[in-house]
Amino acid sequence: MRQPPLTSTTSYQALQSHAQDAQQWQMRDLFAQDPQRFERLSAEAAGLFLDYSKNRLDGRTLALLANLARERGVEQLRDAMFAGDKINLTEQRAVLHTALRAPKDKQITVDGQDITADVHAVLARVKTFSDAVRNGAWLGHTGKEITDIVNIGIGGSDLGPKMVCLALRQFAHPRLTMHFVSNVDGHDMDAALARVNPETTLFIIASKTFTTAETMMNANTARSWFLKHASEEALAKHFVAVSTNVEAIKKFGIDPDNMFPFWDWVGGRYSVWSAIGLPVALCVGYGYFADFLAGAHALDEHFRTAPIEQNLPMILALVGFWNREFLGCPSVSIAPYHQDLNRFPAYLQQLDMESNGKRVTRAGDTITDYATGPVIWGDVGTNGQHAYFQLLHQGTDVTPMDFIAALRPAHEFQNHHAALLANCFAQSEAFMKGKTADEVRQDLAGQDPAEIERLVPHKTFPGNRPSNTILMEYLTPATLGALIALYEHKVFVQGAIWDVNSYDQWGVELGKVLAKKIEAELNGEAQPAQHDGSTNGLIARARAAV
């Protein structure tokens, strides 16, 4: 159904006129005027606390944004998603990653099929298999315990399990070393194979489609490498697969007993909760994997039931929408102040940018008068502070930040943790307050007045730069599950407001097709076709180097 254009809606227009005032606001003043601002503009659910008070908005802004969400039918679309309606319109698919973490007794059906039963049947197999590998009952072909697990996948079949295994390293099995090979660049595979022993290595071939070129090439290379050291019969002890494409797995030669299925209603970037999370279950154990699912489910329940104004994903999405649409911010920087979350920004990049990097509405109309998904990027604090924070504080673009931290560490170095949190809080304070010219003059008091005036513009910080802070007590499987679900639903809400289909990714196809063609030309299997001058020149140089 065609939605009215976003900018023609009453609530959008109300926001537009409100924004004319709000764009002049200084956050310093907003805090001074309202001693309760922090309490008013913060919310809590599923073990996560969100402080969004350091944004250029007030209670009225949030109320207007909530009206917009209502007028855009966000709640109805949310309910349709949870109910299994085929909201992925271009692929005619349901969007049911929430069903992957729903309890056994929750009935959800797709095309008449009880999918909760299917989900729990696969989870039971994930449990049996991961228990066996972890407790040493599953042995390699020469009778040795598994020591290394190599996950071969890319995009959603890599970023999720890799990020989660790193984030939960405190819970990892001491005997198992996790490796993740994603890139078609042979250096990636070479580095992994150099570190493992074929007798004690388990390969997981993870691909929703089981056709992705990079994964298939890496899977074949791993198989050939393994067969240099062992027989075909030994493969069954060392290769398992996760996919929706059971036929292709069989063709690859993987034992059907070693196949973990999932379903087309799970998007690749939303699949860590499915059997794609097998590396997580192997690494931290099924019990913690179940806690991870439960943490996400708690956030799902909150998202499904809490009023918009107290609903964490709704708030995060609406604040992000406000910053993108009315403050003109082209990117969002993710700053986890937790070393174990160092792959979280990369994970969110796919989640957000592959979902909302769209330029047509769900009905196919070109969007011309508003911006959709921002660029997502970032790195852990405090590292980023010594690299790109300069631009964030004093550059010409305003980049909203999401700071993420755990109040308690999982290590014993308390002084480190106090220093880490101090930096996290100090940065959001600095972004918000900035430093005025007069404050700089006070700092430099006593120096030559001409020198002071020369330095003032360089040492002034404009401030008024927005940020959110998300806190949890500890980084645990449950809080991590909730954190990921928070961002999944944030992406959903923004996609609903922008009226884009967040669940397809046609934009990655063109390059894939062209790469296939050029690969054949580079390998000499096809005559170089007439590309543009630049591409012809590059191909010629690569062919000359062979």
- Name which of residues 47 to 76 contact ligand F6P (CB under 6 A): none
Calpha distance 330→48 (Å, rounded): 26
Segment near ligand F6P (CB under 6 A); pick from 96-104, 149-157, 171-179, 535-543: 149-157
State in angstroms the smallest separation of the CB of 241 from ligand F6P. 11
Neighbours of 416 (CB within 10 A): 11
505 counts as binding ligand F6P under rule CB under 6 A: yes
Tell me how many residues contact ligand F6P (CB under 6 A).
Answer: 14
Nearer to ligand F6P by Cβ, of 132 and 213: the residue is 213
User: Among residues 187, 228, 386, 458, which one is catalytic?
Assistant: 386
- Which residue lies nearer to ligand F6P by CB, 7 or 211? 211
345 close to 378: Cβ distance less than 8 angstroms: yes
Asked if residues 540 and 531 have their Cβ atoms less than 8 Å apart, the reply is no
39 has catalytic annotation: no
List binders of ligand F6P among 199-238 (CB under 6 A).
207-209, 212, 215
Nearer to ligand F6P, 163 or 432 (CB): 163
Given a contact cutoff of 8 angstroms between Cβ atoms, the answer to whether 433 and 465 are in contact is no
Choosing from 157, 218, 258, 323, the residue that interacts with ligand F6P (CB under 6 A) is 157
For residue 381, give every residue at least 6 positions away whose Cβ sits within 8 Å of its Cβ, in sequence order, or none.
335, 336, 337, 403, 420, 423, 424, 427
Of 67 and 349, nearer to ligand F6P (C-beta) is 349
Comparing CB distances to ligand F6P, the nearer of 156 and 277 is 156
Side-chain half-sphere exposure of 81, counting CA atoms within 13 A: 25
Given a contact cutoff of 8 angstroms between Cβ atoms, the answer to whether 362 and 500 are in contact is yes
Tell the residue number behind the tokens 């797995």, with chain if given: 249
Nearer to ligand F6P by Cβ, of 434 and 495: the residue is: 495
CA 233 to chain CA centroid, Å, is: 38
Q: Among 385, 419, 410, which Cα is nearest to 479's? A: 410
97: contact with ligand F6P by CB under 6 A? no
Would you count residue 427 as binding ligand F6P (CB under 6 A)?
Answer: no
Q: Does position 88 bind ligand F6P by CB under 6 A?
A: no
Considering the complex, state which of residue 158 and residue 521 has its C-beta at the smaller distance from ligand F6P.
Answer: 158
Active-site residue flag, 512: yes
Contact pattern from residue 109 through residue 148 relative to ligand F6P, giving x for each residue in contact according to CB under 6 A and a dash for the rest = ----------------------------------------
Q: How far is the CB of 68 from ligand F6P (least distance, A)?
A: 29
Residue 93 near ligand F6P by CB under 6 A: no
Does 279 help bind ligand F6P (rule: CB under 6 A)?
Answer: no
Annotation says 516 is catalytic:
no
Q: What angle do CA 274, 46, 418 make, to 5 degrees?
A: 110
The nearest distance, CB 516 to ligand F6P, in angstroms, is 13
CA distance 291 to 362: 35
Cβ neighbours of 503 (radius 10 Å): 25
Region of 52-60, 75-83, 154-162, 473-481 interacting with ligand F6P (CB under 6 A): 154-162
- Burial class for 536, CB neighbours closer than 10 Å (0-12, 13-18, 19+): middle
| Segment interacting with ligand F6P (CB under 6 A) among 111-119, 153-161, 358-366, 447-455 | 153-161
| DSSP assignments along 392-413, one per residue | HHHSSS---EEEEEESS-SSS-
Based on the shown chain and the rule CB under 6 A, indicate whether residue 343 belongs to the binding site for ligand F6P. Answer: no
| Phi, psi dihedrals of residue 467, rounded to the nearest 5° | -155, 155
Q: What is the DSSP letter of 503?
A: T
| Residues labelled catalytic | 354, 386, 512
- Give me the residues that bind ligand F6P (CB under 6 A), please: 154-157, 207-209, 212, 215, 268-269, 354, 505, 508
